[in-house]
Structure 1
Amino acid sequence: MKKSIVFWIERYLYEPDISQRLLSFLLLPLTFIYCLIVWIKYKRAVPFDHGIDVISIGNLSVGGSGKTPLTTALALKYENAAIILRGYGRKTKGLQVVSDGREILCDVLCSGDEAMIYALKVPKAVVIVSEKREEGIKKAKEMGAKIVFLDDGYSKHHIKKLDLLIDVRSKNGFCLPSGPYREKAWSGKKVELLQEGVDFKRAVRIENETENMALVTAIARPQRLDAFLPRVVSRHYFEDHHFFTKEELEEIMKSSKAASLLVTFKDYVKIKDFGINISILDLDLDVDERIFKLIDDYVKGDM
């Protein structure tokens, strides 16, 4: 039931049919109120300098946009880096140090899937989850970080930072609840708008590829994977951040007669200890040097 609702919402936000378009128009009065509240919040915010360079990687819409692989690619280039994120989907609350840059200090239930990706892929970075990002920044400084990468930080207008904003297009151009946009790129707020295919490109590789793979994934808008998929014997989509059980994955392998399960790295971090044969569809990013120059100029104070 939950999965059906999540997928209906994703279609409503990004690929609405006629009835869903009608609903989005009926909700426009609520959208206006929502936008007004968010705009007032933005106008009242006073950016605070935490005494450390903060680079925000964000997007305006709900759902996946490539923030995690982009943040990974950027953070790998810098020494003494910290990555801070909310840790959506984790089973814990409050501030949690996931990695101190030397070892991973908790499991994926504690960290959430995206934070564990960072801990594994950027092993020299401090990784912190915290609903209050300013507390995470303070902790990162205490741990010796010199630069902070803030995952999904555009809306944190009270934090002084460089805003890198991934441009995500939708057939539905409204803000919530009529459309997928959480905010607009507000007039007067300086951002660097990044486009896939221009500022960064995806590089796909498959680890442990087998003849008969069943795709299993729990990412937002899983159809985004279609352009990168090899032949698979079946496809199984779960709601974003779903925590799998070993039993449900074994049943998929049995019913599909699959030799392995093809998963993204975001799925892999949650099932790597299940003892199931896994193939990984890993998406790395090739980032244009212009983006690193933007960051370097910001760090040097030239922006």
Structure 2
Amino acid sequence: MQGLEQHWYRITPLHLILLPISFIFQVLAATRRVLYRSGILTSVKLPVPIIVVGNITVGGSGKTPLTLWLAQQLIDSGWHPGIISRGHGGTTKSPLAVYVSSSPIEAGDEAVLMAQRKLCPVWIGRDRVGAARALLKAHPECDIVLSDDGLQHYRLQRDFEIAVVDGVRRFGNGFLLPAGPLREPLSRLTQVDAIVVHGGAATEDQHSMQLFGQSFYNLLNSNATAQAADFFGQRLHALAGIGHPQRFFTHLNLLGLKVQAHPFPDHHRFTPADLDYIEADAILMTEKDAVKCATFANEKCWVLRVDAQLDSLITQQILEKVTPDGRQTA
């Protein structure tokens, strides 16, 4: 998919070949959804509410920060959430608990990042039903589950769907894979419970989300922290292997930092060679990339922690839907 991405935000001669394939993909995706909705393919209802955070496009849009924000909101409201994820980029297929010390090669970078926040249990599995069942068995105190990136995983029934939209890249050229970045047609957005727009203009019935972060910590010593001003005047390089690397570089620029940017593909598996050739006073990176560089990082590596910021109305929407009996929360 990496080579095709350059064709997803414009129209090129290659679309003469891609569009017929895209039409076939659309038919297959629609058929699959109909089969689940009609009961021909079996979906599973779990004993606790399931909140799905996903998107209809390929690539990162801010799902993981939103999932962590929702987990904190639910904890503050008296719930005991658990998080499940596919473990994208990891080698594990079967359900697996993810801990602070888990390997991102095995569990995936995003799952390890979520576990390192220490908010609630995190489990992964390509079958989200299996991952959720394993989580609930290991943690019977969990009374609600957040599924990170599970919008198209229809085998798992859900009580509330959230679609995250990249407010900058939006929907590219509007075509489905492989001609464009869409996993499902735009009409899918009319069927979700809430739409969160990350980093762009939101309509009145949508929620606007920003990622906020201005403090860094040293990758070798998390107790060592720094502010953006501490890096002024230094030779700075920044690397990002996320869905939209330019978003990270722009964030650094807004903090007043001039960096030499090194973009990598999403979920890039970093090696020592990716750092060894960089001559800099400081190398700045995202939390998602930091979990993959921790074993070979040097003292020049600094990590920017970011947190989602959005209105609490979406939390109210969720609680109103998953507590129809009027359950009181703390």
8 Å contact from structure 2 (residues 174, 181) kept in 1 = yes
Q: Which amino acid aligns with 1:175?
A: L
For 1:224 and 1:193, the matched residues in 2 are separated by 20
Partner residue in 2 for 1:180: 181
Question: 2:33 pairs with 34, 42, 61, which one?
Answer: 42
In the TM superposition, residue 65 of structure 1 has moved relative to its aligned partner by: 0.5
1:248 aligns with 2:243: no
Other structure's SS at 2:51 match: strand
1:193 aligns with 2:202: no
Decide whether aligned partners of structure 1 residues 50 and 194 sit closer, same or farther in structure 2, where only a CA change above 3 A counts.
same
% identity of equivalent residues: 29
Other structure's SS at 1:27 match: helix
In the TM superposition, residue 167 of structure 1 has moved relative to its aligned partner by: 2.5
Which blocks of at least 5 consecutive residues in structure 2 are unaligned? 217-225
8 Å contact from structure 1 (residues 24, 179) kept in 2 = no
Q: Which amino acid aligns with 1:249?
A: L
Which aligned pairs between 1:25-104 and structure 2 lie closer than 5 A? 25-45=16-36, 46=39, 47-79=43-75, 80-99=80-99, 104=100
Which aligned pairs between 1:139-218 and structure 2 lie closer than 5 A? 139-142=134-137, 143-144=139-140, 145-161=142-158, 162-168=160-166, 169-184=170-185, 185-186=187-188, 189-196=191-198, 197=200, 198=202, 199=207, 200-207=209-216, 208=226, 209=228, 210=231, 211-218=234-241
Partner residue in 1 for 2:221: none
For 1:218 and 1:52, the matched residues in 2 are separated by 34
For 2:153 and 2:235, the matched residues in 1 are separated by 45
For 2:151 and 2:92, the matched residues in 1 are separated by 24
In the TM superposition, residue 173 of structure 1 has moved relative to its aligned partner by: 0.3
For 2:316 and 2:147, the matched residues in 1 are separated by 18
For 1:282 and 1:81, the matched residues in 2 are separated by 22
State the TM-score, normalized to the length of structure 2. 0.80
8 Å contact from structure 1 (residues 268, 280) kept in 2 = yes
For 1:159 and 1:243, the matched residues in 2 are separated by 29
State the TM-score, normalized to the length of structure 1. 0.86
Other structure's SS at 1:193 match: strand
| Residue deviations 1:247-302 (CA, integer Å, cap 9, x gap) | 330211x2xxx111110111111112324122223321112111110111122037
Q: Which amino acid aligns with 1:73?
A: W
Other structure's SS at 2:94 match: coil
Which blocks of at least 5 consecutive residues in structure 1 are unaligned? none
User: In angstroms, what is the RMSD of aligned CA positions?
Assistant: 2.2
Q: Which amino acid aligns with 1:96?
A: L
Point out 4+ residue stretches in structure 1 off by more than 4 angstroms: none
